[in-house]
A and B are shown apart, each in its own frame.
Chain A
């Protein structure tokens, strides 16, 4: 296990180092799919230049990083490449602990195996499969072209991913304090990870064997405790940024920018063209609808998946990266890193082939249609828009397929794998 992991790390580092030194690095860092106004390295440098000129970086509309980020880079700007090379490896930790989680699950399954029908044993993962999951997760993240591109472009998205990965790691480790602090940090960075509060809380409750029951004081006690850690650290971090900067300018410039979507530079998301073409008097309404859409799924998903918080985390991250206002391929890479962890769901996926083809084709077509529109002038914005539409459609299909497979596997675990109709013929499962 250690040897292949080390080899993987070496390969990943080599690829990045070579790309950093090549002429491709500059090309990649300009790609709209890889960097968004929120996390472009060019804008970080601009913010630092503004600081040097004695102008508040938030007085303009170029810089949208949080104050802590700018102070981090104020000291590490010369080592930026190293920072970005290191950040993906935090995600690695995640992979290791997904493995430990699965071991924990396995024991649980072994204990409760009498609860499951006999024919479901093939749905449970063998220890051998489990053994390779961390390696697969690491490989999926470190060698994912999306991650590599994002890293070579020095998009700060990689750092945000690292914070989220560390948060998941701490959560799975069972450290409520660290988990709360890291979640606050992730929220502070890009507001959307706020929705990860629910799965983290559910995970801790499950771990501490506290039933989710609104009438139980133990439930409220722990919820308040965790919420206090979270809100407290959020207040501390925000206050710290205020004292570093001496003004609240960063609130509208970072969070207002995320919510009100004033920058319509094309990206792989759904927002840019929609709001470029929006009728002025409906703009506010649709901004509200689209932003609520990101947060809204938390409640029903938490209810439906309250027994499966880790899968809930995956769902939330995926939904955020599809429906957020300035998505980049780095965000996509984060939830894709989880896919090997759900390898036991492959048999229930309905259209994984179609989805893979769509996503691959779109990834190839993004630069082509961008070139045709922006440089060649032979296409127009609709071409690029069509591809973003298809890409998001593919992502939605992928996520809902995994959700379907997960629910179906749960159904089979309780009802047996080979279901029969009343007349004894093989039954088909339908959603009703």
Chain B
């Protein structure tokens, strides 16, 4: 079998090298990992049949855009998807933000044409593009859907607008298990430990004390209409620090690694020198075609980063790929069926605000987050993108000052009120900036047990009037076993500010339960606000249609609204601390007091009152002793 495969790959190499661009071939040969090379080449070969149609599609897209620039996505329904095969797409979206920051969002999508959750297909041993480490985890723990994100920094919705895929600071993990799983908690425990190893993160600190089962806020994003939240587990680690050691294993999950394609740009010293960094992995089952005859696994790896070169005063208000990532692009990942760079130019239709170089004739429109946006598209699979220099360095130069950004329709903030270490109050403020539409939001709070919430102090006020939530799901905490879970459905009046407050009491913990830096405080994870926000333009409800990756993550059920999830700030709450230096002293002193009590009672219980007869002095006793020996009467 091995010999056969070797022979096949040899043929492939010959076949491929005759077809492929010379520079591409160079990099492939440079790749150190021999087996990886073989694997990827054979992949290209098996995708040969797709490649032709792919080319057709690209041709079509470019001509279409040239002829009719406004209709980029609608006509793609005529395109019939390829027969079931593994597929890899990569994409980078760059959105110049009004604050002068630059938001870069990478998305990598791997489709895996297998369905091991069906009966009889439990074991899958063939992996091509899909990372084996994750595939094995999926099958071992019967995972239906898995979403994990690591974020450093806080997404500032008011300045930056909505991100494509939101994530809370720290680590977040939520998993839907398959409904055949009997011991969900056991699977969850093992899964977190395994993932902790895969991503080099402290996910092993997820245990029952920070895991909740939200009843409404986290619905499956992929196939399967699971509604029984017994199979859902959600946990956040707001204290998690994200750094290079998390990025490296994340990059290794990509078919090309960081050797080729867009992932070349991910240099950690640049990525982590930013004001926001978020990397995520989303795995879910999706339909392969519109009829949904067969399922496929979709692995989406996203990396969002916001560079603050301008606002931090490090540079001018212009950027290039090289400035941001200290690399330029030289090729697409050879395994990718599509590899594109999008730049948001909606605010710049006539080129009066900024200038992009190199310019591109390709334009695309996408409805994303309730807004129709226009993007310049650079297709990395086409040789002319790289120009004469064989290197693609996108450059944006600002001409004028950008206008004001539209306020995001929904945003929220949270803080702790009160002073002292005994009680406090959590305030969550949710803003609906829609001028005339009211819409409901689901607010989910998971509060650790050491803050004892008092649900009777819960107040929800909008426009200084009481706003009774129409649905409340509250699960009180059990000390050292589970956190509080509070979910509410609140109707936000148009153009309003809604304030949710709840009081809590701070517990004194055992001295071993404090974190190493107890006076730093304890983190409380972000509240999650999930909402269907009224859309300005009609959303596209066709999920299987070929769309840019960034606009197709959350399935859209109706045209008039779109789904948004907003995470608030995590809280940092101080708890009273015991004196860590004196366990021995405390044990000794308390035991002494108890012993004083015991001793005095013991004395009174066991002894009786007697008249005190002082014993005679020593000389007298000696004299009496001698007298007794002599037989003389004793002294009185």
Contact = CB atoms under 8 A, between A and B. Distances in A.
A396 B576 contact: no
Contact of A61 (B455, B456, B476, B593): B476
A61 B478 contact: yes
Interface in A352-407: 373-375, 380-382, 385, 389, 392-393, 396-397, 400, 403-404, 407
Interface string B555-587: 000000000000000000000111100110011
B586 A385 contact: yes
Interface string B593-608: 1101110110111011
Given A374-B576, A428-B612, A431-B607, A393 B586 contact: no
A423 to B, nearest CB: 9
B576 A373 contact: yes
Given A431-B608, A431-B609, A273 B578 contact: yes
Interface of B: 419-423, 449, 452-456, 472, 474-480, 484, 505, 507-512, 576-579, 582-583, 586-587, 589-590, 593-594, 596-598, 600-601, 603-605, 607-613
Contacts of B612: 427-430
Interface string A41-65: 0100110111001010001111000
A274 B605 CA distance: 27
Interface in A254-307: 262-266, 270, 272-280, 290, 293, 297, 300-301, 304
A61 B597 contact: no
Which of B449, B452, B596 has the most C-beta atoms of chain A within 10 angstroms of its own C-beta?
Answer: B452
B590 A274 contact: yes
**Pairs of residues from A and B, 7 with the lowest C-beta to C-beta distance, nearest first:** A60-B476, A49-B456, A400-B600, A431-B607, A277-B586, A427-B611, A396-B597
Contacts of A432: 607-610
B596 A396 contact: yes
Contacts of B604: 304, 400, 403-404, 407, 431
A422 interface: yes
Contact of B579 (A49, A293, A382): A382
A22 to B, nearest CB: 20
Nearest to B519: A377
A290 B449 contact: no
Nearest to A283: B510
A407 B609 contact: yes
A322 interface: yes
Interface residues of A, number: 64
A264 B577 CA distance: 11
A119 interface: no
A279 B422 contact: no
Contact of A276 (B474, B480, B484, B511): B511
Contact of B598 (A270, A277, A293): A293
Contacts of A46: 454-456
B592 to A, nearest CB: 9
A278 B507 contact: no
A421 B611 contact: yes
A301 to B, nearest CB: 7
A48 to B, nearest CB: 7
Contacts of A270: 590, 593-594
A53 B454 contact: no
Contacts of A422: 613
Contacts of B587: 274, 277-278
A278 B484 CA distance: 26
A323 interface: yes
A125 interface: no
A430 B612 CA distance: 6
11 contacts: A59-B476, A62-B476, A274-B587, A276-B509, A277-B579, A278-B587, A380-B577, A393-B593, A429-B610, A430-B611, A431-B603
A411 interface: yes
Nearest to A253: B478
A419 to B, nearest CB: 6
B421 A374 contact: yes
A344 interface: no
B421 to A, nearest CB: 5
A55 B474 contact: yes
Nearest to B583: A277
B431 to A, nearest CB: 27
A81 B480 CA distance: 34
Given A374-B421, A403-B601, A53 B455 contact: yes
A274 to B, nearest CB: 4
Interface string A408-432: 1001000000010110000111111
B521 to A, nearest CB: 13
Given A46-B456, A431-B607, 15 more contacts: A60-B478, A61-B476, A262-B479, A274-B590, A280-B510, A297-B601, A301-B601, A380-B579, A381-B576, A392-B593, A400-B597, A403-B601, A421-B611, A421-B613, A428-B612
A35 to B, nearest CB: 11
Given A263-B507, A275-B510, A30 B422 contact: yes
Given A297-B601, A322-B597, A30 B423 contact: yes
A55 B475 contact: yes
Contact of A300 (B421, B476, B605): B605
A25 B438 CA distance: 41
A264 B510 contact: yes
Contacts of A408: 609
A340 to B, nearest CB: 22
A389 B590 contact: yes
A64 to B, nearest CB: 11
Contacts of A274: 586-587, 590
Contacts of A290: 594
Contacts of A49: 455-456
Nearest to B598: A293
Contacts of A278: 510, 583, 587
Nearest to A404: B604
A394 B391 CA distance: 84
A275 B586 CA distance: 9
Contact of B593 (A265, A389, A400, A429): A389
